[in-house]
Amino acid sequence: MTKNEIFQIVKKNTLEILPKVSEDMIMIDQRLKDLGANSIDRMDIVTQTMEDLAIKIPLVELAQVENIQELVDLLYEKKNSSHP
Amino acid sequence: MQRRIMITGMGVISAIGQNIPEYGQSLRAGRCGIGTLKSVGEPAISVTMGAEIGNFSLETRLQQYAFLPEALIQNAQQYARRSPYAIQTSVVSALEAWENAQLHENPISPERLGIVIAGNNLSQHYQYDNYPKFQQTPEYLSPRYPLHFMDTDQVGTLSELFHIQGEGFTVGGASASGNVAIIKGYQLIQLGIVDACLVVGALADLSPMELQGFYNLGAMGGKRFVDEPEKACRPFDKDHEGFIYGQASGCMILESKESAARRGVQGVAEILGGAMILDGNRLTNPSEAGEIRVMELALTQAQIKANELDYLNAHGTSSPLGDETEIKAIRQVFQDHLSRLWINSTKGLTGHCLYSAGVVEAIASIIQMQEGFVHPNINLDNPIDRACLFSGSVSAPEKIEIAMSNSFGFGGINSSIILKKGGE
């Protein structure tokens, strides 16, 4: 799975959880916070995306993530190192 | 000094009407909302019937309030669109009551507004639905789960939506929860803690496990009339055999007469008084003595004599022991007045709405007072008591000035409230 595919999944879940956000507002270098996501919304987006990708990331690793790019990188790394 | 407390707004969503006008029409027509249960799925359970709202969509319901401030409707959509069913239906009934009380046009200061939610264990179906996924992969449980599994999610969501900043909480009284909430809201205003209070009867979103539990306990009917669900709920009929589950949320705005007058709003009814007492009983059986005591206490609180009452909205769940006990208690309290006291049970039409029953039945009582009719007891073919003035198979025109509404719950919880027609 490519990083762009993962970004698309993050985007889909962001749109689902933040109804006031439109697709063209979501840029890879943005922070979810700046799109209006509170801490619960952010956890919701991440949890939903982990489920879609069938991976699990400990909370402590997610705490390091600063923006959507770093989230995608982390998800990409976990996805491609996981062995089904 | 005793304050006068009015009901200045009402809202409802039920199996027999998704707003007050629809609900009123169904009451008058004696339309029954009980049918084959659709929301059960696998595994199949012994309970096959109930009064479900059916085809509920928050978005569609919100469209009917398009004339309310746009921001209010947008917020309702945003806050509740991913919330459990019981929250969404509370939002819908509360919006109707809010509009009905003109609180969007003639507001009350947020600090003077309170909220009481009737019922507890309000998210059982939501929990049940989450459980299979949790067993599979606990990590994927929604981070919103802790928000939603607590009943105070109702308090939080509605208080944010309507800017309520006075006192607010949930109350539980089993099937008497609705009346308990009305009584607590009434007391908040009496004590001067708030000027107005939203009282919301929350929809009992039972999961298949709770339904089967009630069935195994022997509390549910629907066996003899298994192929005719609309005939299964038969309060006070010789063929009654237990309650039938119903879904509804109801909301009433309680408000001091001074506050209503300040806002230029006329109440649809007045709450003259109410009482709640316990039998000291952890089990399910009703108590004639407790029911007599609570009705008499409500009359005393309301400063009304038994013979001044025109109408009684009975608890009447269609369970043999419950119906018989209530009639015995009514006979004792009303004596010679029995032949002039209209009695019906709204549960024959709505099913037993459990936590919200007290609220949706108070609303039914008020609609009947406003419109001058007594709704039918559609399945009352052979009354268990011939001396009572039960309504028949069709509505009867009748001027009702003062009404009593009873609600009794498991755990020896008895409650009764007294309402007076508004408008003067």
Q: Where are the domains of chain B?
A: 5-269, 270-421
pLDDT value, residue B72: 96
Give per-residue pLDDT as tens, B272-281. Answer: 999 999 999 9
- Secondary structure class of B201 (helix, strand, coil): strand
pLDDT value, residue A59: 87
Give the closest of A19, A44, A56 to B143, CB-based. A44
- Mean pLDDT for each 10-residue chunk of chain B (424 residues)? 93 98 98 93 93 94 93 95 97 98 97 98 96 96 96 98 98 98 98 98 97 97 96 98 98 98 96 98 98 98 98 98 98 97 98 98 98 98 97 97 98 98 76
What is the ipTM metric for this complex? Answer: 0.92
Under CATH, what is the fold of the domain A3-82?
A: 1.10.1200
Determine the Cα–Cα distance for residues B295 and A45; give it in Å rounded to an integer.
53
CATH superfamily of B270-421: Thiolase/Chalcone synthase (3.40.47.10)
Pairwise CB contact (< 8 Å): B140 & A44 = no
Same fold for the pair B5-269 and B270-421:
yes
Pairwise CB contact (< 8 Å): B143 & A40 = yes
- Whether residue B147 contacts residue B83, with contact meaning beta carbons closer than 8 Å, is answered with no
Give the residue from B155, B206, B163, B202 showing the smallest Cα distance to B180.
B202
Pairwise CB contact (< 8 Å): A50 & B142 = no
Pairwise CB contact (< 8 Å): A51 & B77 = no
Determine the Cα–Cα distance for residues A77 and B241; give it in Å rounded to an integer.
62
Q: Which CATH code is given to the segment(s) B5-269?
A: 3.40.47.10
pLDDT level of residue A5 (50, 70, 90 thresholds): very high
Determine the Cα–Cα distance for residues B235 and B343; give it in Å rounded to an integer.
11
Pairwise CB contact (< 8 Å): B144 & A20 = no
Could you give the residue ranges of the DSSP H alpha helices within B81-151?
Answer: 85-100, 124-136, 145-149
Could you tell me the residue ranges of all domains in chain A?
3-82
Determine the Cα–Cα distance for residues A11 and A9; give it in Å rounded to an integer.
5
Label residue A59 exposed, middle or buried (CB < 10 Å: 0-12, 13-18, 19+). exposed
- Whether residue B246 contacts residue B347, with contact meaning beta carbons closer than 8 Å, is answered with yes
- Whether residue B359 contacts residue B182, with contact meaning beta carbons closer than 8 Å, is answered with yes
pLDDT level of residue A82 (50, 70, 90 thresholds): low
- Whether residue A76 contacts residue A41, with contact meaning beta carbons closer than 8 Å, is answered with no
Which residues are CB-neighbours of A1 under 8 A, at least 6 positions away?
A: A53, A76, A79, A80
Pairwise CB contact (< 8 Å): B137 & A43 = no
pLDDT value, residue B1: 60
Model pTM score: 0.96
Residues of A contacting chain B (CB within 8 angstroms)? 17, 19-20, 40, 43-44, 47, 50-51, 56
pLDDT value, residue A19: 87
- Secondary structure class of B167 (helix, strand, coil): coil
Give per-residue pLDDT as tens, B173-223. Answer: 999 999 999 999 999 999 999 999 999 999 999 999 999 999 999 999 999
- Secondary structure class of B404 (helix, strand, coil): strand
Asked, as a colleague might, if the bond just before B43 is cis with ω within 30 of 0, I would say yes
Residues of B contacting chain A (CB within 8 angstroms)? 77-78, 81-82, 137, 139-144, 147
Pairwise CB contact (< 8 Å): B144 & A40 = yes
- Here the tokens at position B169 are 């909480």
Give per-residue pLDDT as tens, B56-75. Answer: 999 999 999 989 999 999 99
Identify all chain A residues contacting B81, using CB atoms and an 8 Å cutoff. Answer: 19
Identify all chain A residues contacting B140, using CB atoms and an 8 Å cutoff. Answer: 47, 50-51
Residue of B nearest to A19 (CA): B78
pLDDT value, residue B424: 56
Determine the Cα–Cα distance for residues B353 and B375; give it in Å rounded to an integer.
17
Q: Which residue has the tokens 């919701």?
A: A44
Determine the Cα–Cα distance for residues A19 and A17; give it in Å rounded to an integer.
6
